[in-house]
Amino acid sequence: MSDPQDGLNAVEIGTTVSLSKTIGEYDVYSFAGITGDFSPNHVNEEYMKGTPYGTRIAHGVLGMGFASTASSMVLANLTQYPCVSYGYDRIRFVKPILIGDTITVTYTVQEKVPEKNQLRSKVTITNQKGEVATVATHILQFV
């Protein structure tokens, strides 16, 4: 087993990964089924027509799931250094993700916290228009 500091040292500040995906009907309904969150915000088009959004919106945490994918991409070649997600801070759902939006998750390593064996990274999710939909700080913990 490696020293957690070795894992921390293997990742450079500024390392950035991104991924894009078009959010489809299947994504929203599958996520609703997995989580049990069948809020009309996500599954009732007629209800949402009467709101300022005018249409259904994806679950905010569905977008955050793709942030988890991005963190795994940062660590893809570092499997010899056990690491877990320690959580997300300052999550804000700034703009809704609509069904049909193509989102891009950008994940950038910003800080090392050696005394805690942690990396802190900025997560930004934008839509196809370049509008910010979600922001957060992710904490990875080398164990």
CATH of the domain at 72: 3.10.129.10
Structural domain count, the chain: 1
pLDDT in single tens digits along all 143 residues of the chain: 579 999 999 999 999 999 999 999 999 999 999 999 999 999 999 999 999 999 999 999 999 999 999 999 999 988 899 999 999 999 999 999 999 999 999 999 999 999 999 999 999 999 999 999 999 999 999 99
CA angle 57, 136, 72 (to 5 degrees): 95
CA angle 40, 95, 50 (to 5 degrees): 40
**Rounded CA separation 72/29 (Å):** 24
Range of the domain at 129: 4-142
Do residues 80 and 4 make contact, with C-beta atoms less than 8 angstroms apart?
no
**Rounded CA separation 45/141 (Å):** 40
